[in-house]
Amino acid sequence: MKRLFYLIVAIVAASCAKENRFHVNGTISGAADTTLYLEHISLGDGIVAVDSVRLNSEGTFQLSGEAPQTPEFYRLRIGGQGINLAIDSTETVTVTASMENLSFGYTVEGSGACDTIKILSGKLADLEKAVRRVAEDRSFTIPERNEKIDTLVARYKNDVKMNFIRNHYGSTASYFACFQMLGSVHVFDPMQDKSDLTWLRAVANAWNEKYPGSPRSENLANIAAQGRKNQAKPKEIVLDLDNSKVRELGIIDITLPDINGKERTLSDLRGKVVLLDFTSFALEGSHERTMQLREIYNKYHDRGLEIYQVSLDNNRNFWTQRCEHLPWVSVFCEEGAGSSFINLYQVYTLPYYFLIDRNCDLQARMENIQDLEKAIEKLL
């Protein structure tokens, strides 16, 4: 009898364990001998591997993970391609895709949230293509380019707000929409945009009612609170346009905060040769360009070169992450691509460089980083 009792307990325990898992099954054609990963997009630990399988010639797979207590986000990934998924509990989701167009050409069954997320991901991909076309069109001036990109993003956000978030504030897809990324920047910016903050607060309130105390509900509430606090602060951009001082310095002075919030003034670098760099860390090739600037800085800094880098990114957190370990002066302009300094310095493209001599006189302006070293040598 004891053996029978233990056997029944074991069977019940195994059954319960099985029931407390979600399952992702399906087929991915053209992916033989590749590894398919199921990953959890967590809040605190980043991307966490949940399960994986080596695909055979048929491409069929069966993956599973521990069922979340409240909605969570996952992805199927092969190499650099992925499929975004939302899992509410112990559901079974079926995915059919091909390796050729894994991220956007798939179908999903068993989850309305996953289907909506697929639509949102496709729309974002279309936005990225449209923005890239405008960004690469050199027939536009920077103000024209920024205006066109802002219009594209504004239309996209309005579409998402009205057709996906409205009347579905507590849905998993609405949460997903609030954190979509365009390149390295969040589409919705509750820290700067009042309208974005209003919509995020609506989602936060709905999630708090539906999933009180859950990590993602608290995350939304914290972002909403920080957004209200941030937008309550008056923004002040210092433009020193005193004519006598401009004549004295030979430049228009700039005072902006660095990563620690300390105001850094361009003219305080008088006595050094200064490379004034207008840039955005969200630009394609930004990492490679930063490495080139590091080589220049390391080569000439001991001889009197300093870099004063003005970031025109529209996301302060993103800028902070990128410039945290830079050895030169990096400052942040709240106005972003609409900065007054762009017009004052007649910057027509990004990145753009100016060289200032030891007497604070503007000596050169250029677009290409390859032209900098010769010009720096002359001023040193």
Return the structure tokens found at 31.
């992916």
Domain positions in the chain are: 17-109, 121-232, 238-379
Return the structure tokens found at 316.
């302060």
Q: What is the C-alpha to C-alpha distance for residues 251 and 7, in angstroms, rounded to an integer?
A: 84
Backbone angles phi, psi at 157, to 5 degrees: -65, -40
Cβ atoms of 305 and 380 within 8 Å: the answer is: yes
pTM: 0.61
Pick the CATH number of 17-109 from 1.10.3720.10, 2.60.40.1120, 3.40.50.300, 2.10.240.10: 2.60.40.1120
Per-residue pLDDT of the chain (380 residues), as tens digits, is: 444 444 443 433 444 444 699 999 999 999 999 999 999 998 878 889 999 999 999 999 999 999 999 999 999 999 988 999 999 887 899 999 999 888 888 999 988 889 999 999 999 999 999 988 988 888 888 778 888 888 999 999 999 999 999 889 999 999 999 999 887 678 998 888 888 988 999 999 999 999 999 999 999 999 988 888 877 755 444 445 444 444 345 677 888 999 888 899 998 999 999 999 999 888 888 888 999 999 999 999 999 999 999 998 878 888 888 888 899 999 998 877 777 788 778 787 788 899 999 988 888 888 778 888 888 988 98
Q: What is the C-alpha to C-alpha distance for residues 234 and 256, in angstroms, rounded to an integer?
A: 14
82 SS3 class: strand
Helix, strand, coil percentages (3-state) for the chain, rounded to 5, are 45, 25, 30
Q: What is the C-alpha to C-alpha distance for residues 272 and 328, in angstroms, rounded to an integer?
A: 13
Identify the bridge partners of residue 325 per DSSP, sorted by sequence position. none
State which fold the 238-379 domain adopts: Glutaredoxin (3.40.30)
